Structure 1
Amino acid sequence: MSENKQISKQVRTYQPTYQLESRKRFNIEDVEKTLQNIVNSELEEVEYSDKTAADLCISLTENIRTAIKEENYDRYRIIVAVSIGQRRQQSVHVFHSFLWDHERDGYASYNFENCHIFANVVVYGIYFD
């Protein structure tokens, strides 16, 4: 009797679980507010010095990158570029060039000036598959 019974196996098929979009998109307004808060608090009373400008750029870059990464933009590579210079009667042009996906990538920038220095800070959120 048991030989006549056919054993039927159910085959399970699974749908792909990968995700094509980020759970939290790069929000330019939030990043600009974060930039303003950090840059204003760290550079408010700073005077320009050739010896400390490079270290100041590095520490400012690390602080900004950590604050942006704490906002949990998944699937985004965060790139921070900081330029600090002595304020005189000159003009400065900063240019960055990337291959860009207009639907997913974004950037936020902030310019700071006091009577001694200027600072240009740009944060790029590049979508990373």
Structure 2
Amino acid sequence: MSISKPNKQVRTYQPTYQLKPRKPFCIEVVEKILKRIVDSELDEIEYSEKAVPDLCSSLAENIRGAVKEENYDRYRIIVLVSIGQRRQQSVHVFHTFLWDHERDGFASYNYENCHLYANVVVYGVYLD
């Protein structure tokens, strides 16, 4: 006795090639989100090299979730968080990749207190 499996229909979707987003990436809104979240989460924090990796991950997830709530359709949201101990040094952070200046956007925020510094960048990369 053999049992036959029901035929599964596989849906294939054709690309839509929508060249303009319905809701474009708004840099001012994302900068306000960054300021609100980073200031509230890092306000009372002192630098600890054991706690910083988890802090970076949770901060990036919180920011990514808040930006995704803005419903930027067809945008990939990329969040980069760098936290370091504040000593008498300077830091330069560079990010480079292919960019469509008409549709893609980014927002950044720098935070400092007497113990640490943080650099947070959110990229909104449009997917057509």
Which bracket does the TM-score occupy, shorter chain normalised?
A: 0.7 to 0.9
Q: 1:89 maps to which residue?
A: 88
* Aligned match of 1:37: 36
The equivalent of 1:117 in structure 2 is 116
Superposition pairs for residues 36-115 of structure 1, below 5 Å? 36-115=35-114
Q: Which has the larger radius of gyration?
A: 1
Residue 21 of structure 1 deviates from its aligned partner by: 1.4
| Structure 2, gaps ≥5 residues long | 1-15
Q: 1:59 & 1:88 partners in 2: Cα distance?
A: 24
Distance (whole Å) between structure 1 residues aligned to residue 55 and residue 99 of structure 2? 29
How many residue pairs get aligned? The number is 113
**Per-residue deviation at 1:18?**
6.3
Cα distance in 1 for partners of 2:91, 2:18 equals 42
Moved over 3 A (4+): none
| Structure 2 residue identity aligned to 1:74 | D
C-alpha distance in structure 1 between counterparts of 2:100 and 2:53, whole Å: 31
For structure 1, which runs of at least 5 residues remain unmatched after alignment? 1-16
RMSD, matched Cα: 1.0
Percent of aligned pairs sharing the same letter: 76
Aligned to 1:7: none
